[in-house]
């Protein structure tokens, strides 16, 4: 049963702008050490500079799994999806090429050979974080996957799902001690071109990830 709120916990709201005076009930202060997830959420920050080393295969695997990995025998994935229809595609851009993540077999399919990171950075309005990262995970969605069931809400659900997926990747990066930033400012068409995706896709997020720079603690 819910404990009754203590009378001491109830204080009047300060009125910074002549506010309504609504009653506040204070919440227990979250302890970042109380669960591993508390600690990861507390530690997550957007980090735009990276060290020289590339990511290990284990790190790359964990990031992609956190975004779209299959986590149940029924085929459920790490991030929620409206109607379990999964409109999101993850594409990895690194020094070797452009790779599509294939959740069903937890593998990367090589789409384009060659380093496209400079082109991706220029599509992202020259952002240094994209230029300097050893790899970027791009989150895109195909609203048509949801359209039959969700009609005019399909695009909205794609945006919501991209947020879930990106946050999972960012929290995994934090848990692994990596640096990452969500990037939403880019030229959509140019990004789709680099990712080798057609116009049925919405380019929604770029997630440059790398090791933190040396000496950044």
Ligand X SMILES: Cc1cc2nc3c(=O)[nH]c(=O)nc-3n(C[C@H](O)[C@H](O)[C@H](O)COP(=O)(O)O)c2cc1C
Q: Which residues make up the interface to ligand X (CB under 6 A)?
A: 45-46, 48, 127, 129, 181-185
> For ligand X, which is the closer residue by CB, 69 or 182?
182
Residue with tokens 């530690």: 43
Minimum distance between the CB of residue 154 and ligand X, rounded to whole angstroms? Answer: 20
Phi-psi group of 196: left, alpha or beta (phi > 0 → left; psi -120 to 50 → alpha; rest → beta): left
The residue at minimum Cβ distance from ligand X is 184
> For ligand X, which is the closer residue by CB, 181 or 211?
181
> For ligand X, which is the closer residue by CB, 69 or 208?
208
Say if CB 105 and CB 71 are below 8 A apart: no
Instruction: List, in sequence order, every residue forming a beta bridge with 137; answer none if it has no partner.
Output: 92, 207
CA 25 to CA 82: how far, in whole Å?
34
> For ligand X, which is the closer residue by CB, 80 or 126?
126
Minimum distance between the CB of residue 184 and ligand X, rounded to whole angstroms? Answer: 3
CA 96 to CA 115: how far, in whole Å?
5
Phi-psi group of 106: left, alpha or beta (phi > 0 → left; psi -120 to 50 → alpha; rest → beta): left
Minimum distance between the CB of residue 125 and ligand X, rounded to whole angstroms? Answer: 8
Minimum distance between the CB of residue 203 and ligand X, rounded to whole angstroms? Answer: 12
């Amino acid at each position: 049963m819910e404990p009754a709120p203590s009378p001491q916990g109830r204080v009047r709201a300060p009125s910074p702008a002549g506010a309504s005076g609504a009653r506040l009930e204070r919440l227990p202060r979250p302890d970042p050490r109380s669960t591993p997830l508390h600690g990861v959420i507390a530690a997550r920050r957007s980090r735009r500079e990276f060290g020289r080393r590339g990511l290990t295969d284990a790190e790359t695997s964990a990031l992609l799994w956190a975004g779209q990995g299959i986590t149940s025998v029924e085929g459920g994935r790490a991030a929620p999806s409206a109607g379990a229809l999964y409109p999101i595609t993850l594409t990895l851009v690194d020094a070797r090429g452009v790779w599509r993540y294939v959740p069903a077999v937890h593998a990367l399919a090589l789409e384009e050979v060659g380093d496209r990171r400079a082109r991706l950075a220029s599509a992202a309005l020259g952002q240094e974080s994209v230029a300097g990262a050893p790899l970027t995970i791009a989150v895109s969605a195909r609203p048509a996957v949801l359209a039959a069931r969700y009609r005019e809400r399909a695009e909205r659900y794609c945006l919501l799902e991209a947020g879930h997926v990106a946050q999972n990747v960012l929290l995994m990066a934090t848990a692994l001690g990596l640096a990452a930033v969500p990037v939403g400012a880019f030229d959509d068409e140019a990004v789709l071109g680099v990712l080798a995706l057609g116009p049925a896709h919405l380019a929604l997020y770029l997630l440059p990830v790398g090791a933190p720079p040396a000496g950044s603690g």
